[in-house]
Amino acid sequence: MNKAINETVTSDFDITKVRSDFPALDQEIYGHKLVYLDNGASTQKPRQVIDKVKQYYERDNSNVHRGIHTLSQRATDQFEAARVTVQKFINAPSDSEIIFTSGTTESINLVAHSYVRAFLKAGDEVIISAMEHHSNIVPWQLLEQQIGIKLVIAPINHNGDFLFEEFKALIGEKTKFVAITQLSNALGTITPVKEIIQAAHAVGAKVLIDGAQAIAHTHVDVQALDCDFYAFSGHKIFSPTGVGVLYGKRALLDSMPPYKGGGEMIKVVSFSGTTFNEVPHKFEAGTPNIAGVIGMAAGLDYVSELGISKIANYEHDLLEYGTQKLLTIEGLKIIGDAEHKASILSFQIDGVHASDLGTLLDHQGIAIRVGHHCAMPVMEFFGVEATARASLAFYNTKEDIDALVSAITKAVEMLK
């Protein structure tokens, strides 16, 4: 794993203080203390985020841009300050390269239906991996049907490793675009995105990185990666739902046609024609999720204050502990044991259906995710219909893992 994940956990990571910042963790489910292990689906929110959203609605609620009254100016200032916060968090060259969307799904679709639709033609190839979330599969399939691009799948092995040499063998003169997850939501695999980007750029292809899972678990520097596009969602990184980010290199964004039409994305509208706004506003049609954007900035500030390296170190120890504990359960098999892995424990138990297990764990206060995790091709590759998935965050503890193992043991006894 990367250097940050291999370092020793620092002693100043105060898990008790961290947990006290998350009010949702302080509750009981069916008479049991909540153990929340569904962070891959959505993370809980610290008080700092909740309070920021509350403050906006109580004090500053107004639409942004163009308003001259005080509330609109205050809302606009916070909204645009959030853009700078995102820029700094991922080390983008300019805040104009930060586009606010509804989440990773919209960010990927924006690139697919603006950049790829405009600049690729029939026969051009788009490469994705075999471990992608549906949001990084279906948009490309739609374009395959609509404009005739060819979708090429880079393979993985049965440990869940991304096969880089096989990926490189797929790249050729027809390769025009690559869209790859940085961290698999179904397997936890960390992909070698920097090497992938370099290989794609060597043939002139552009690269989009799906950072939905990675953003909360590892340091992201879009300049160091040299990716052309980077997408992530606020709710995966302790921020509100319904808000996300697309980073794009300025020259590419300038060249792309608008994705949606409406207010904000224009300079002048007349029946003889429309002049579009500059980026990022060209891609932000309509009233945005203002409270979500402001809340997301507070979430990123919270993570920055804790330190992403400390978070990665702590979570790596927790992942190793959880892996060892789960493997003590008879008949349990972990799906996805890649050499480079983070945050995800997907598993099956012989003779136990994932849905039944999830229900029984819920009645013991344990929140996990069961199903195909919007990664049905991954399930097909491993020959399973569904897995149970415990996904970790920095507010989880070894005691949470112990509670999970104990609850699974009781559930298996009931089901067998």
Digit-by-digit pLDDT tens for the chain (416 residues) are: 333 333 334 446 799 999 999 999 999 999 999 999 999 999 999 999 999 999 999 999 999 998 899 999 999 999 999 999 999 999 999 999 999 999 999 999 999 999 999 999 999 999 999 999 999 999 999 999 999 999 999 999 999 999 999 999 999 999 999 999 999 999 999 999 999 999 999 999 999 999 999 999 999 999 999 999 999 999 999 999 999 999 999 999 999 999 988 888 888 888 998 888 889 999 999 999 999 999 999 999 999 999 999 999 999 999 999 999 999 999 999 999 999 999 999 999 999 999 999 999 999 999 999 999 999 999 999 999 999 999 999 999 999 999 999 999 999 999 87
- Domain ranges for the chain, please list them: 3-45+307-415, 50-304
Nearest of 38, 18, 52, 37 to residue 239 by alpha carbon: 52
Say which CATH topology domain 3-45+307-415 has.
Answer: Aspartate Aminotransferase, domain 1 (3.90.1150)
pLDDT at position 277 is: 85
Contact in structure between 390 and 368 (CB atoms under 8 Å):
yes
Please give the model's pTM, rounded to 2 decimal places.
0.95
**94 contact partners, CB below 8 Å, separation of at least 6:** 87, 250
What are the distances in angstroms from CA 61 to CA 50, 163, 265, 281? Answer: 15, 49, 21, 20
Task: Name the burial class of residue 395, with classes exposed (0-12), middle (13-18) and buried (19+) by CB atoms within 10 angstroms of its CB.
Answer: buried
The pLDDT assigned to 4 comes to 36
Just give the CATH number of 50-304. Answer: 3.40.640.10
pLDDT for the residue numbered 267:
84
CA angle 105, 107, 110 (to 5 degrees): 110
Q: From CA 81, how far away is CA 50, in angstroms rounded?
A: 18
pLDDT at 7: 36
Catalytic residues, which ones? 374
3-45+307-415 and 50-304 in the same fold: no
**Exposed/middle/buried for 67, CB within 10 Å: 0-12, 13-18, 19+?**
middle
